[in-house]
């Protein structure tokens, strides 16, 4: 009775019922036979009767046996499936809605040590597979580790309504009507060989001695070879620890290659060779410093070499005594804590002057611009380049959008009455209209495109020249035809004054032009007290010969009463953080140029005993500006770079958008704490 309740269907039922259908067909064929021959009809009818009895007996007798065989086959087939899942070569688990383990196969048990009787949450084995994650994604892939094994985990849902639509035993629910199938692909061996392959890749390093000539000149001739030998020994000994191949390519340059697996060791060591080489003393008056550029993650050795070349250029552009690691577009800096050594040679300035002259002569127009919220150094350098272009009878313009209270007395000297064209100074919109392929765009006192007065014109011409004294960062003006980045210089005005001396013979400067360039040097050196070298005074002497008047410049640089009171307010409200850092806020109300006042106040704070570095925060035009200063102990440039800014070791700054004064102050304090803990600065 039990078997009779089971009904066959589909092709199997059609196949078994075909003989029964044939009985009806034979009966229909037998009827015409009676009309032809009655005895033949009776014979066929007898045959049909025997055939029908045989078919019916066979059908009803074999049907239970067939059903029994089918059930046995299905049972055995299910056992085969279960065995296949149990012995599946991929670890497999079935989870319920909450992530509870319902069933696992043998390999899962082997990999995790959890058997089929383990019915806790999968999170207890893999904490990264959370209940929330399982319920939020229908299918996903993860990378997980367990017992030093690496797994690629693939998860997908199995819905009840898809597998139980023909059964009456279970009714699917509304929101929990699924199970989660989890596959664990063991990639331990694969990842091991991937890491081995990565570790065997070659990293390229270029090592330069920053002050080779200066160091040798400071010692006796008989000791020079000893100094060079000791430096070679330090460099070779350091890189031999990482099984590197080091070759000296020039008197002050080395080339090294080593395996990628040792790079992290050097990073953890923070490239101690930078400090180690400074200990080489054979009577030399100055410390020897190194610059190292490292290229990594390139597609081939050639690209790594190109990355290392770009990295060493960036290291030298930032003043040397540091390591720059370039990995694709990612750039990491190490070192750069020492004071830069002034270059005594003027060869570079002469070469740049001749190159600048050739570029200007080949074009019709020169557009000069500095950074946003132009200061005296930016303005003075622009005036110097304007004079150079005028000497070659080229039309020159200076992009100046805002005139601060400090600049106004100097700007008012360049009027039509003094012989200057109306379009000598342009707004950004006017500069964009004039700029074309036959225009030279001269950028001074900045090397970041976003900080220029008009970033748009940098895209309108390929003739771009950059003169700057700030350290380079990742974001630099690209595709320049001439770039003169000299971090050793005190100011952009000093660089321009040097170039003017070699630009052409007999170049003449008007008194107001010499005053503007001289004022730029005066402001950036804090009255010749910061970053001042021999070349700084030589540039000042040249400007003095050209007609610069110290008394006249001092009068024009005087502050009005509101600015002076604001600066005094900054000093009065300053807070001392960690007994070494002065932090204050500059008010922006009733002040025409609060950022300049903030910079002046930062200089004032350094006059307080015990203050190693000062930071003045100014909120202006929806940005918070940080002006930072130090004398010699703290590298404020590193601090400002950590906040997205830059500058010099003793003079730096940063601009932060979408932050309040309180948030920037807190962020600055956190940055100081972190850098002190990591040893980058000392309180």
H/E/C letters for each residue in 241-270? CCCCEEEEEECCEEEEEEEHHHHHHHHHCC
Of 5 and 577, the structure prediction assigns the larger pLDDT to: 577
| pLDDT value of residue 193 | 87
Query: With the C-alpha atoms ordered 64, 67, 73, 76, is the resulting torsion angle positive or negative?
Result: negative
Q: Write the pLDDT tens digit of every residue in 99-143.
A: 888 888 888 888 888 877 787 888 888 888 888 888 777 778 888
Helix ranges (H only) for 613-660 are: 636-642
| pLDDT value of residue 175 | 55
CATH class in words for 91-194: alpha beta
Tell me: pLDDT of 378 over 90: yes
| pLDDT value of residue 60 | 77
pLDDT band at residue 276, thresholds of 50, 70 and 90?
very high
Cβ atoms < 10 Å from Cβ of 59: 14
Among 77-86, 129-138, 184-193, the range of highest mean pLDDT? 184-193
| pLDDT value of residue 7 | 62
How much of the chain, in percent, has pLDDT values that exceed 90?
A: 40
pLDDT band at residue 96, thresholds of 50, 70 and 90?
confident
CATH code linked to domain 347-556: 3.90.1640.10
The stretch 443-468 carries a mean pLDDT of 91
| pLDDT value of residue 345 | 60
Residue 362 corresponds to which tokens in the numbers above? 């080949």
What distance in Å separates the CA atoms of residue 256 and residue 399, rounded to the nearest whole number? 45
pLDDT band at residue 4, thresholds of 50, 70 and 90?
very low
| pLDDT value of residue 390 | 93
Is 347-556 the same fold as 201-335?
A: no
| pLDDT value of residue 174 | 53
pLDDT band at residue 3, thresholds of 50, 70 and 90?
very low
| pLDDT value of residue 171 | 53
- CATH fold, domain 562-677, is Diaminopimelate Epimerase; Chain A, domain 1 (3.10.310)
pLDDT band at residue 324, thresholds of 50, 70 and 90?
very high
Q: Which residues pair with 186 in a beta bridge?
A: 151
pLDDT band at residue 530, thresholds of 50, 70 and 90?
confident
| pLDDT value of residue 81 | 65
pLDDT band at residue 303, thresholds of 50, 70 and 90?
very high
pLDDT band at residue 176, thresholds of 50, 70 and 90?
low
Give CATH superfamily name and number for 201-335.
Reverse transcriptase/Diguanylate cyclase domain (3.30.70.270)
| pLDDT value of residue 2 | 44
The stretch 469-483 carries a mean pLDDT of 83
| pLDDT value of residue 295 | 94
From residue 663, how far is each of 127, 144, 225, 604, 670 by CA, in Å? 35, 37, 55, 24, 11
Parallel, antiparallel, or unpaired for β 202-209 and 253-259? Answer: antiparallel
Q: Which of 45-49, 470-474, 571-575 has the lowest mean pLDDT?
A: 470-474
Tell me: pLDDT of 429 over 90: yes
The stretch 450-465 carries a mean pLDDT of 91
| pLDDT value of residue 67 | 67
Domain boundaries, the chain: 11-86, 91-194, 201-335, 347-556, 562-677
Chain centroid to Cα 644, Å, comes to: 12
Of 666 and 194, the structure prediction assigns the larger pLDDT to: 666
| pLDDT value of residue 77 | 60
How much of the chain, in percent, has pLDDT values that exceed 70?
A: 92
Q: Write the pLDDT tens digit of every residue in 606-645.
A: 989 999 999 999 998 889 999 999 987 888 888 998 898 8
Q: Write the pLDDT tens digit of every residue in 25-53.
A: 888 887 888 888 888 888 888 888 888 88
| pLDDT value of residue 313 | 85
| pLDDT value of residue 409 | 92
Tell me: pLDDT of 1 over 50: no
Q: Which of 58-72, 375-389, 418-432 has the lowest mean pLDDT?
A: 58-72
Of 234 and 69, the structure prediction assigns the larger pLDDT to: 234
Tell me: pLDDT of 225 over 60: yes
Contacting residues for 67 by C-beta, under 8 A, at least 6 apart: 3, 6, 8
Residue 138: Cβ-neighbour burial (10 angstroms; 0-12, 13-18, 19+): exposed
Contacting residues for 516 by C-beta, under 8 A, at least 6 apart: 376, 379, 380, 383, 384, 410, 413
């Amino acid at each position: 009775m039990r078997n009779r309740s089971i009904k066959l269907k589909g092709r199997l039922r059609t196949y078994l019922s075909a003989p029964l259908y044939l009985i009806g067909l034979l009966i229909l064929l037998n009827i015409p036979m009676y009309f032809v021959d009655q005895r033949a009809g009776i014979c066929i009818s007898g045959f049909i009767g025997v055939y029908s009895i045989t078919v019916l007996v066979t059908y009803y007798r074999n049907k239970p046996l067939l059903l029994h065989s089918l059930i046995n086959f299905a049972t055995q087939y299910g056992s085969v499936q279960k065995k296949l899942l149990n012995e599946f070569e991929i670890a497999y688990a079935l989870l319920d809605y909450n992530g509870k383990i319902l069933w696992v196969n043998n390999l899962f048990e082997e990999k995790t040590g959890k058997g089929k009787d383990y019915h806790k949450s999968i999170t207890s084995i893999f904490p990264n597979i959370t209940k929330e994650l399982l319920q939020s994604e229908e299918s996903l892939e993860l990378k997980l580790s367990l017992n030093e094994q690496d797994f690629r985990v693939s998860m997908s849902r199995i819905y009840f309504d898809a597998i139980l639509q023909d059964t009456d035993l279970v009714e699917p629910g509304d929101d929990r009507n699924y199970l989660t199938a989890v596959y664990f692909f063991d990639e331990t061996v694969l990842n091991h060989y991937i890491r081995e392959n990565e570790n065997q890749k070659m990293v390229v390093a270029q090592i330069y001695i920053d002050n080779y000539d200066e160091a040798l000149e400071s010692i006796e001739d008989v000791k020079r070879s000893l100094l060079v030998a000791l430096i070679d020994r330090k460099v070779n000994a350091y890189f031999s620890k990482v099984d590197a191949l080091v070759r000296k390519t020039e008197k002050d340059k080395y080339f090294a290659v080593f395996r990628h697996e040792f790079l992290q060791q050097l990073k953890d060591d923070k490239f101690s060779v930078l400090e180690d080489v400074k200990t080489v003393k054979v009577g030399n008056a100055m410390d020897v410093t190194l610059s190292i550029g490292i290229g990594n993650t390139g597609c081939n050795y050639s690209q790594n070499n190109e990355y290392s070349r770009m990295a060493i250029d960036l290291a030298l552009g930032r003043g040397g005594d540091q390591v720059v690691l370039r990995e694709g577009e990612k750039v990491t800096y190490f070192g750069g804590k020492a004071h830069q050594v002034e270059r005594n040679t003027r060869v570079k300035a002469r070469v740049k002057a001749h190159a600048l002259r050739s570029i200007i002569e080949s074009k019709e127009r020169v557009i000069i611009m500095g950074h946003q919220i132009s200061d005296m150094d930016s303005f003075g350098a622009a005036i110097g380049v304007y004079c150079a272009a005028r000497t070659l009878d080229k039309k020159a313009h200076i992009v100046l959008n805002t005139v601060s209270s400090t600049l106004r007395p100097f700007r008012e000297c360049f009027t039509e009455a003094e012989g200057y064209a109306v379009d000598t100074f342009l707004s950004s919109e006017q500069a964009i209209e004039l700029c074309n392929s036959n225009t030279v765009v001269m950028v001074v006192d900045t090397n970041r495109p976003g900080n220029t007065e008009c970033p748009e014109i940098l895209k309108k011409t390929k003739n771009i020249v950059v003169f700057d004294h700030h350290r380079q960062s990742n974001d630099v003006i690209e595709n320049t035809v001439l770039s003169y980045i000299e971090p050793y210089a005190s100011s952009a005005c000093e660089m321009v004054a040097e170039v003017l001396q070699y630009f052409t013979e007999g170049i003449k400067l008007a008194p107001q032009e010499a005053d503007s360039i001289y004022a730029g040097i005066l402001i950036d050196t804090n009255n010749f007290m910061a970053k001042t070298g021999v070349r700084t005074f030589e540039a000042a002497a040249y400007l003095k010969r050209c007609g610069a008047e110290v008394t006249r410049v001092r009068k024009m640089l005087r502050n009005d009463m509101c600015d002076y009171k604001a600066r005094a307010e900054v000093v009065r409200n300053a807070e001392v953080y960690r007994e070494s850092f002065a932090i204050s806020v500059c008010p922006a109300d009733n002040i025409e140029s609060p950022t300049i006042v903030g910079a002046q106040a930062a200089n004032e704070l350094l006059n307080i005993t015990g203050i190693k570095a000062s930071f003045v925060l100014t909120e202006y035009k929806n940005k918070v500006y940080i002006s930072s200063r130090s004398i010699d102990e703290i590298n404020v440039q590193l601090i400002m770079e950590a906040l997205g800014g830059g500058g010099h070791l003793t003079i730096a700054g940063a601009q932060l958008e979408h932050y309040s004064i309180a948030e920037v102050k807190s962020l600055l304090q956190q940055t100081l704490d972190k850098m002190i803990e990591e040893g980058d600065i000392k309180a």
